Amino acid sequence: MAKPRQRPEGIQLRHRSRCASLRGGRCTCSPTFQAQVWSPRDRRPIRKTFATIAEAKAWRQDARRAVRHGTLQAPVPLTLAEAAAE
């Protein structure tokens, strides 16, 4: 049996909702890669999706550095009332 490929830590493969791979078949989409870093100050993850794994790895490395230096924080949730006011 073939061993599945290991992805770098903090990066997940994301298939489209209609992709056959979600039902056990071969992939029929162009999957994307979601990178994630943890923000201890906000106690929340920060996520972003990319077309290639190289872009995801580069963003994750830059984001980890930015979180350590305090220049990147998790987005603040917007309430429905706030969105309506804008």
**pLDDT tens profile 11-67:** 998 999 889 888 888 888 889 999 999 999 989 999 999 999 999 999 999 999 999
Q: DSSP H helical segments within the chain, as ranges?
A: 53-69, 80-85
Query: Distance between CA 45 and CA 52 in Å, rounded?
Result: 20
pLDDT at position 78 is 83
Please tell me the predicted confidence (pLDDT) of residue 53.
Answer: 92
Residue 8 to residue 66: CA distance in whole angstroms: 19
pLDDT band at 76 (very low <50, low <70, confident <90, very high): confident
pLDDT tier for residue 7 given thresholds of 50, 70 and 90: low
How far apart CA 49 and CA 85 sit, in angstroms, is 29
Q: Does pTM surpass 0.85?
A: no
Name the band, by pLDDT with cuts 50, 70 and 90, for residue 8: confident
